[in-house]
Amino acid sequence: MVVCGVDPGMAMTGWGIIRSQAGEPPEYVGGGAIITPSTQPLPQRLRQLFHSMSRLFQRFCPQAVAVEELFLFPKARTTAATGQARGVILLAAAEAGLPVFEYNPRTIKMAVTGFGGADKGQIQLMIQRLLTLPQLPAPDDVADALAVALCHLQTVHLPVHA
């Protein structure tokens, strides 16, 4: 199974691709961040995000997309922007005919670190360990996206071994 994990954001959307086969440890396939410049108007930023996600889906052919649920930020504007980014990501997945699974931040942290209140550094360390990466995944949005993908694999009962 190939899963694309996504940590949505307007300024930066992290993505990570993981492959897993029953009885085998998960394998890192790719990861990165889609950055939309704040100098661009909102419609162009959303368009860029949509096209970038669509290309990722075509390139890696995931069987599922796992997305972090919307986190309510203290600033309503940040929450609204993240919600718009999520909507575009969900649309790109729907257009590609991919099933989407959503997980809340606490569930993701629990799945990867065993602690629902883990900080970003702990998540990066566990992702590095679980995927046997030579260095910490950076930026942390990429680590978060890989964590969402791993959470999905655990949810569908493909064990992730440390």
Catalytic sites, residue numbers: 7, 68, 141
Question: Helix or strand or coil: residue 83?
Answer: helix
Q: What is the DSSP letter of 71?
A: P
Q: How many CB atoms lie within 10 A of CB 144?
A: 27
18's tokens: 């993981």
Supply φ then ψ for residue 115, to 5 degrees.
-140, 115
DSSP letters, 112-145, are HHS-TT--HHHHHHHHHHHTT-SS--SSHHHHHH
Token couple for 103 = 């997980």
Which residue has tokens 């949810």? Answer: 155
